[in-house]
Structure 1
Amino acid sequence: MPLLVPPAPAPALRTVLTALGSPTAVSEARTPSLRTAQGPCTPDLPLPVHVLDQATPAGTPTTRLAGWRFLIRSGDRAVAAAETVLTPDGWAFSRFFEGPYIAATERALRQAESVQQPYQARLLSVPELYMLTLWLHGDLTADGDTGHPAATDLLVPLAPAPPGIASHRPHRVADLLPVLTLRLTPAPLLSSPA
């Protein structure tokens, strides 16, 4: 029981269910595995997706909620994912997709279930590095839509991870964030000799 998956907002789930029930949405998706899935497809394991913004001068990471991601199951395996975004009118279906992060998310969640300390599961995206991590947040009572990574939270980079960062290896935020911040900091421009 150490892993808690926060409940998705009901309107976000409804938009995914509506999209799954729409032949047009499924047939126009760039997800061959979803179009060819045998049997019913159901949304599972909703995870809030937060985006890492630049760390503040004090080194505190800031994040913002980008949406909710649902794995789409057909039978006993995930065949795709669906994303929802918050708009001024409420939650809206964004897209279906597939790729390596689907299996990597499942693998990281299975790994996290074996951790002794309880955590709340989230996803943390670092777009500038083309990086996605499973964020294991230590505050189980926190709303999945809010919060910032605590120094003792764990980040599990999903495969494929950027070069030099081991995927599927848990890192404390206090250890991995300085590495990410260094990579996100632009290199100073070298002046040419006069």
Structure 2
Amino acid sequence: MPLHVPPAPAPALRTVLAALGSPTAVREARTPALRTAEGSVTAELPLPVHVLDPVTAEGVCTTRLAGWRFLIHSGGRAVAAAETRLTADGWTFSHFFEGPYIASTELALRQAEALPGPYQPRLLSVPSLYMLTLWLHGDPAADAAEGHPAAADLLVPLAPAPPGIAAHRPHRVAELLPVLTHRATPIPLLGSPA
């Protein structure tokens, strides 16, 4: 079933397009693939990036919108990504980057297209585990900037995934989120032995 990719805020897209059109921004980026791309480059597949915040003392985990990520395509494939963030002055371009999450995101999106049911793709970052997942939200009409992973939503860990968590295997939020929050919860330090 086709994914329902949410539209990015127009100002976020404009900042990415302006950065792509800036020889200085592209030249100074730490993305050799972007600097050496031949022909036109396009910003595609905007995905909202949500961050899983640390678990509170009450055991509640929350998410917050951190930005929008665009895959940068050249020659029919993703060569880099561009990220935007929200500031007091509105959406602004943050940076270009490349690495394993670019190809892994494309692969996860292709796999998600074959799943039954409609989904809205998002990214969920778990900074304390150095982990990124494709979050397939079950309500394709939802506001992409809002929400919390619902129990029936799917999380697809992107490669590289933390040890013991299989990359590119869809997991129900109800199954994977408790594992992630448990791993991400800091262990209280005990007093030293006497």
* Fold-level similarity (TM above 0.5): yes
Distance 1:136 1:166 in 2: 17
The aligned counterpart of 1:71 is 71
Residue aligning to 2:164: 164
What residue in structure 1 maps to residue 48 of structure 2?
A: 48
- The aligned residue for residue 123 of structure 2 is 123
CA contact (8 A) 1:19 1:26 kept: yes
Q: 1:26 to 1:124 in 2, by over 3 A?
A: same
**1:178 Cα offset (Å):** 1.0
CA distance in 2, matches of 1:170, 1:30: 31
State the alpha-carbon separation in 2 of the partners of residues 191 and 89 from structure 1: 46
Match of 1:84?
A: 84
Runs of 4+ aligned structure 1 residues displaced above 6 Å come to none
**Worse-superposed segment, 57-66 or 106-115:** 57-66
Q: Is the 8 A contact 1:69 1:84 kept in 2?
A: yes
2:175 aligned counterpart, secondary structure: helix
Task: Verify: 1:138 aligned to 2:138, yes or no.
Answer: yes
Gaps of 5+ in 1: none
Deviates more, 1:19-28 or 1:177-186: 177-186
- Per-residue deviation, 1:193: 2.8
Which SS does the other structure have where 1:182 is aligned? helix
- Contact 2:61/2:181 (8 A) holds in 1: no
User: How far 1:56 sits from its partner (Å)?
Assistant: 5.1
Q: Following the alignment from structure 1 to structure 2, what is the Cα–Cα distance between the partners of residues 54 and 173?
A: 16
Q: Distance in 2 between matches of 1:171 and 1:88?
A: 36
**2:193 alignment partner in structure 1:** 193
State the match for 2:4 in structure 1.
4
Q: Distance in 1 between matches of 2:59 and 2:143?
A: 23
C-alpha contact (below 8 Å) 1:2/1:116 kept by paired residues: no
Structure 2 unaligned spans of 5+: none
1:18 aligns with 2:2: no
Q: Which deviates more, 54-63 or 80-89?
A: 54-63
CA contact (8 A) 2:72 2:79 kept: yes
Q: How does 1:83-102 map to 2 (within 5 A)?
A: 83-102=83-102
Indicate conservation of the 8 Å contact 1:72/1:79, yes or no. yes
Q: Is the 8 A contact 2:159 2:168 kept in 1?
A: yes
Aligned to 1:184: 184
Deviates more, 1:129-138 or 1:53-62: 53-62
Q: In the alignment, is the contact (CA less than 8 A) between 1:108 and 1:134 conserved in 2?
A: yes
Does 2:38 match 1:38?
Answer: yes
Q: Is the contact made by 1:61 and 1:148 (CA closer than 8 Å) also made in structure 2?
A: no
Name the SS of the counterpart of 2:145 in structure 1.
coil
How far residue 62 of structure 1 moved from its aligned partner, in angstroms, is 1.3
Shift of 1:186: 1.6
1:173 alignment partner in structure 2: 173
